[in-house]
Structure 1
Amino acid sequence: MWKQVRFGSRGEIAGIIEEYAMYADMVITLPGFGQSMNEKNYLFSVLRKKLQKVNIIQFDYRGHGDSHEDLSSTTIQSMTDDALCVVIENIKKYKPRHVYLIGHALGAIISHRIASYIQSTGLNVTTIMISPPTKELPRFQDLFEEMTLKFMKNEGTIELTQLVKGEDYYSLSDFNYKQVEYFKILGAHIINLHGQQISFDLLKDFDEISLSSIYKLNDWDTYFIIGEKCLVNEKIRGVGEIFILDGVSYYYEHPKSLDQIIIYVKEIINKNKRYHN
C-alpha cells in the first residue's frame, strides 16, 4: 500500500512510497522537467501499481508538484541534489541490494548523474532512460528573442508566456514549433509551464547538457526506451540495450506506448533479478 511521505531535512520534498520489504530491490522514478512525480499521463503512477516485490519511490523535485519552492529556483543541480537526497534517505532505510533509476527526458539525465554515487556505495544500480535527448539541444540564444533574453538575464527569471508566445494551447498552432519542441525534449509540455517563472541560469544549464558525457560506457547497466520516430543518436548504440516505442516520438502520444513501457521495465527488472540471483 502506498503512502505519502516527505524527504529532506525540512520535509521540502514531497513523495510517495509503495513499500514491499526491507532489503528488497528499489525503484526510484525521476520525472522530466516541469512534471510532477506521477509524470505525464500518470506513467509513474501506473508503473507503481504494476511492479511487484520491489520498493517504489516517487518524488517531486523542489519547484515541482507538491514540493517546496517554485520553478524559478530550479536548476539541474537542484534537481540532482533532490534526487540524491531521496536516494540516500531510502538506501539507509530499506538497505536494497539493487537500485533501479527510471528517468524520463531530463529525469533520465538526472538518473545518469546520480548513478555513480549509488554504485560507490557498493550497490548494484541500473538506469532505465525513457526518451532521453537523442540530439543536442539548440543553444537558447538561437531559439528565443534577443530582447526577451536580455530582460530575463537582468531580472534573473521570466514568466514563460513572455519567453514562449502563443494562445492556442490545444493544437499549439500559433506557437514557435522549435521552442515547443525544446521543452518537450526535456519532458515538459507548454501548458504545464503556463504561468510559471523560469530562470536564466536554468537555460544556461540546458545549454551545458552534453550527450557525449551521458552516452558513454559506464560500470552500470543502462537501458534506453525511445520512440520509433526519434532518430537514435549513434552515441547511444553500444552503451546499452535499446527498446523501441512503436509509431511515436514520445510515449504520451499513444496509450499503447505506456503499455509498452510497463512491459519493457518489467522485462528489464526480471532479467536483472535472474542474473544477480
Structure 2
Amino acid sequence: MITQKWLVKNNKYLLGVSHYPDSRIIKGAVLIFPGFSLPMCDVDYFTTKLARRLVKKEMYVLQLDPFGHGDSSGSLSEVTLESLRDDALTGLEYLQKIHKSNVFCVGRGLMANIFAEAAELPFIKGTIGINPVCIDPDVIKKLWEKTEVGVYECSKLLPGSEYSNLTDFSRDKLAFFEAIGARMRNIHGQYINTEIFKAMEDEGFMEVLKRCGKGLWFFTDGTCAKGYKTVTAGEIGCRTLDDYYKKAIVRNPLWQFNLIEDICESIMKRVED
C-alpha cells in the first residue's frame, strides 16, 4: 500500500511517500533521500524503484522530500547542512515508531554523508550511501575560493547551456555538483546558498564516512564487472572530481537494477542478523 505522508516539525512540512508491505508484516523500516536538489523519486525514478523492491521484501519504506526539495516547504536557497541533518532526524524518528530495531537509511551524494552522521544514533541498524562526497576539503575550497558566501542562481555559479553533452560547462564544477547529487537540468534555474559549500570544507564532513562502522558505500567504478564497488568505513579514501564526472549515478538500466538488488541484499542481511 502506498500513501502520502506529511511530517511536520518546527513549522517545516516535509512530504513523504509511505510504502507498506501488502502482507502487513514489517521486518524493518528504511528512509530514502534523493540526491541534493532533486525530488524524492531521484534520477530515472531510481529511489522509487529501490523503494518498490524493498517493500516486496516486507520492509516499510519512506521516501522523503527534504526541506526545500520537491513538494516539501521551503526553497533550495534556504537549505543548509543543518537543515538536512534536521530532516534526516525527523524522518528517522518517525521510522523508529514503525520498527524499533531494524531502521536503515539510504542516501545519494551529499545525502549519504548526512546519513553517515545520523548513523551514530543508537537505533540505526545501518546506512547505505551511493557515491557519497569523498572530495579533499582543500579541493572544494580551491574550487569555490573566488565565490563569496551568499545566495546565487545556479547558472551564475556554473554557466552553460549545452545540456545534451555538457560541453560548455566547467568540468570540475560540474563534477562537484554531480558529487553532491544534483543534475544540471534540474538545478539550473534554482537558487542555492553557497554556505553549504563552505560547510563541506570541514574535514569532518568526509571523515564521518570513515567513522561510520554501520555504513556501506557504493562507488561507481568502471573496472568492476557491475560498474561499481562496495567500500566499508576502513576503506574510504579521497576521490578526485573526475571520479564523479558523469558517474555519480549511471543512467544505465542494468547498472541501476544491479545496484538496487545489492542494496536490498545488504539491508536484508542485516535485518536477519
Q: Same fold (TM over 0.5)?
A: yes
Taking the aligned partners of 2:199 and 2:229, their CA distance within structure 1 comes to 23
Query: What's the offset of the Cα at 1:264?
Result: 0.4
Moved more, 226-235 or 76-85: 226-235
Kindly provide the CA deviation profile for residues 150-185 of structure 1, in whole angstroms up to 9, marking residues without a partner as x. 4xx4xx311111111112122111111111001101
Q: Which residue pairs with 1:172 in the alignment?
A: 166
In structure 2, the CA distance between the partners of 1:233 and 1:28, relative to structure 1 (3 Å rule), is: closer
Matched, 1:100 2:89: no
Query: What's the offset of the Cα at 1:66?
Result: 0.5
Taking the aligned partners of 1:255 and 1:37, their CA distance within structure 2 comes to 19
In structure 2, the CA distance between the partners of 1:234 and 1:113, relative to structure 1 (3 Å rule), is: closer
Query: What's the offset of the Cα at 1:145?
Result: 7.7
Q: Which residue pairs with 1:261 in the alignment?
A: 259
Structure 1, unpaired ranges of 5+: 240-247
Instruction: Tell me the matched-pair count.
Output: 255
Taking the aligned partners of 1:191 and 1:84, their CA distance within structure 2 comes to 29
In structure 2, the CA distance between the partners of 1:209 and 1:185, relative to structure 1 (3 Å rule), is: farther
Matched, 1:225 2:230: no
Query: What's the offset of the Cα at 1:90?
Result: 2.8
Runs of 4+ in structure 1 displaced over 3 angstroms?
A: 20-24, 137-141, 209-212, 229-239, 248-251
Residue 42 (structure 2) aligned to one of 39, 42, 56: 39
Residue 27 (structure 1) aligned to one of 27, 30, 33: 30
For residue 167 of structure 2, give the secondary structure of its aligned residue in structure 1: coil
In structure 2, the CA distance between the partners of 1:90 and 1:176, relative to structure 1 (3 Å rule), is: same
Structure 2 counterpart of 1:142, one-letter code: K
Query: What's the offset of the Cα at 1:252?
Result: 2.5
Residue 54 (structure 1) aligned to one of 59, 64, 67: 59
State TM-score, norm by structure 1. 0.82
Taking the aligned partners of 2:186 and 2:61, their CA distance within structure 1 comes to 25
Structure 2 counterpart of 1:99, one-letter code: V
Taking the aligned partners of 1:189 and 1:175, their CA distance within structure 2 comes to 13
Residues 127 and 221, structure 1, Cα contact 8 Å, conserved in 2: yes
Residues 62 and 68, structure 1, Cα contact 8 Å, conserved in 2: yes
Query: What's the offset of the Cα at 1:95?
Result: 3.3
Structure 2, unpaired ranges of 5+: 237-245
Kindly provide the CA deviation profile for residues 52-80 of structure 1, in whole angstroms up to 9, marking residues without a partner as x. 20110110111111111101000011011
Taking the aligned partners of 1:79 and 1:99, their CA distance within structure 2 comes to 18
Q: Which residue pairs with 2:89 in the alignment?
A: 84
For residue 103 of structure 2, give the secondary structure of its aligned residue in structure 1: strand
Aligned Cα root-mean-square deviation (Å): 2.6
Taking the aligned partners of 1:207 and 1:36, their CA distance within structure 2 comes to 25
